[in-house]
Chain A
């Protein structure tokens, strides 16, 4: 009934928002990265083609200009022609080789001085290849259809590398900008998706923790999330309706129980008194009729008492379930009460063949509801004689610290370990109703009374070896409040 403090489960981590955020950022960044990669690759390929084309053009011009020098083996003139390529900053080295491989002339850019590169077998046609740090292009020089020499041009790749670096930088900048804008945008936009869902989550938590079935969420007008919200609300409608119905049914049951037990008790008063009166009348009248009538009236009297006990029990249930088990506390002596109950139950105990051995050092004073404790002990004693018929019952009263302890020990059929916790539940009993009668409510009521008095009841038993019920009660329950809610209302200052 009472919410046990902050019971909200593990703290909710806003995972959904994070997931949505990363989903959009990662998706857009990946798409952009692929686009940039394609663009860069295309640019690099295009640029390489342009480089080759330019170098080939240079080669063609120089080849055309060098034809005469080659034919006349004029190295000086050839070298001059080659030097014209000085204007092209990228060209680092040009060689003019004769078909036998010997070098006729060469041009070296100023900063390139060292040994010639390993020029492997050169093909016959116009051919180019990219090496690690240079582009090598071979341009044949022909005269009347025959190759008279080969021009080998080498261009460095600085320009290409610079371009690639620039592209990479631009790509990185674009990606970074896209990442940041994507992050900011999706951070704002993901609310549209995550907020309704998070609302639902919050509502569901509130409903389950506070049992507030009147709660509704603001469902979005359309879409799956909106449908989810609507369905959630419809579900709550149903639950609220059923909850209200259930409450009404429980209230109606409690009312009925209360009225029924009250109404049932009213006729029992004159009935009981009349039976008793008749018993006295018959006892006084002498005659043959007297013995038979007396025994009949005795049965009637016992049955009326039994009926009253049953009706009282119904009333107790109605009080306990509606939290109206009001205790009327007053200073009293537990030992005195126990003696009283034993004396009153003498007839029942004799019929069961049980002798009660009471062990008590003297009065045990406490502030309790006398009628209720009477009920507790009467019930436990009655159980002991019912399940331990023919065997002695040992009752021990003692005081331990601020508590009174009352033990009732029988030597009856005992209670199996599995049943020991169950017997204090409502409508539960350890034995079959065929062998032993009763509602299965006695011990439940006993426990409710003991707990309302701030005490507790335990049982220790082995099947076949009897049972010991131990009731522990605080001497002054107001001082050691354990169940303060409905119990101590009248006694709180």
Chain B
């Protein structure tokens, strides 16, 4: 089953790797380097992604700010979020995002597949 996934992460290598794997798995992949870029991409896109892989700590606009902007936009609000967390991320911020699922860095291929299947 093919779906469209938006990757929002400031690390090029992580984005590339995730794109590789997700494409391999047969998904359409969109990419953004931060929350601002993601919002721009979403407002321009005709078809919305089925899922967003969201990093927390990013320059320009971080994950939490993106999430808040997402909630304010009725069109974007329903898109499920998978939060990619790093060890140093504060617990309260992680909770504030209220993600549909979480992936703690560094995660394995199986973890990613398990989250996508949900």
A and B part of one assembly: yes
Which residue numbers of A lie inside 8 Å of B, CB to CB? 258, 261-262, 265-274, 276-277, 280, 308, 312, 315, 326, 328, 371, 490
Q: Does B118 contact A (CB under 8 A)?
A: no
Check B86 against A262 for contact (C-beta < 8 Å). Answer: yes
Q: Which A residue's beta carbon lies closest to that of B109?
A: A276
**Shortest beta-carbon distance from A452 to chain B in Å:** 14
Give Cα distance in the complex from A326 to B17, angstroms.
31
Which residues 22-64 of B have a CB within 8 angstroms of A? 24
User: Contacts A276-B109, A277-B109, A308-B106; is A270 near B86 (CB within 8 Å)?
Assistant: no
Which residue numbers of B lie inside 8 Å of A, CB to CB? 11, 13-14, 16-18, 20-21, 24, 86-88, 91, 104-109, 112
User: Contacts A280-B24, A490-B91; is A266 near B18 (CB within 8 Å)?
Assistant: no
Check A273 against B87 for contact (C-beta < 8 Å). Answer: no
Check A270 against B14 for contact (C-beta < 8 Å). Answer: yes
Contact residues in A for B105 (Cβ distance below 8 Å):
265-266, 268-269
Give Cα distance in the complex from A271 to B17, angstroms.
9
Check B24 against A270 for contact (C-beta < 8 Å). Answer: no
Check B17 against A315 for contact (C-beta < 8 Å). Answer: no
Q: Lowest 9 CB-CB distances: which A-B pairs, in order? A: A269-B106, A276-B109, A268-B106, A270-B13, A262-B88, A270-B17, A273-B17, A269-B105, A270-B14
Check A269 against B14 for contact (C-beta < 8 Å). Answer: yes
> Can you spell out 23 A-B residue pairs with CB atoms less than 8 angstroms apart?
A261-B87, A262-B86, A262-B87, A265-B106, A266-B86, A266-B105, A267-B13, A269-B17, A269-B107, A270-B13, A270-B17, A271-B106, A272-B107, A273-B14, A273-B17, A273-B18, A273-B109, A274-B17, A276-B109, A277-B24, A280-B24, A280-B109, A328-B91
* Known A265-B86, A280-B109; 12 more pairs at CB < 8 Å: A265-B87, A266-B86, A267-B13, A269-B11, A269-B14, A271-B106, A272-B106, A273-B18, A273-B21, A273-B109, A326-B91, A328-B91
Give Cα distance in the complex from A273 to B21, angstroms.
8
User: Contacts A262-B86, A266-B86; is A272 near B108 (CB within 8 Å)?
Assistant: yes
Give Cα distance in the complex from A262 to B106, angstroms.
11
Question: DSSP majority for the B interface?
Answer: helix
Give Cα distance in the complex from A190 to B112, angstroms.
81
Give Cα distance in the complex from A140 to B110, angstroms.
142
Contact residues in A for B104 (Cβ distance below 8 Å):
371
Q: Which A residue's beta carbon lies closest to that of B89?
A: A262
Contact residues in A for B14 (Cβ distance below 8 Å):
269-270, 273
Question: DSSP majority for the A interface?
Answer: helix
Contact residues in B for A328 (Cβ distance below 8 Å):
91
Contact residues in B for A268 (Cβ distance below 8 Å):
105-106
Q: Which A residue's beta carbon lies closest to that of B87?
A: A315
Give Cα distance in the complex from A262 to B86, angstroms.
8
Contact of B11 among A262, A270, A276, A490 (CB under 8 A): A270
Give Cα distance in the complex from A272 to B104, angstroms.
13
Check A266 against B17 for contact (C-beta < 8 Å). Answer: no
Contact residues in A for B112 (Cβ distance below 8 Å):
273
Q: Which B residue's beta carbon lies closest to that of A315?
A: B87
Contact residues in B for A272 (Cβ distance below 8 Å):
106-108
User: Contacts A258-B88, A326-B91, A328-B91; is A266 near B108 (CB within 8 Å)?
Assistant: no
**Shortest beta-carbon distance from A239 to chain B in Å:** 34
Contact residues in A for B108 (Cβ distance below 8 Å):
272-273, 276
Q: Which A residue's beta carbon lies closest to that of B104?
A: A371
Give Cα distance in the complex from A41 to B67, angstroms.
108
Contact residues in B for A271 (Cβ distance below 8 Å):
106
**Shortest beta-carbon distance from A289 to chain B in Å:** 20
Give Cα distance in the complex from A269 to B12, angstroms.
12
Give Cα distance in the complex from A271 to B13, angstroms.
9
B24, B88, B112: most-surrounded residue (chain A CB, <10 A): B88
Give Cα distance in the complex from A308 to B86, angstroms.
13
A258, A266, A280, A315: most-surrounded residue (chain B CB, <10 A): A266
Contact residues in B for A266 (Cβ distance below 8 Å):
11, 86, 105
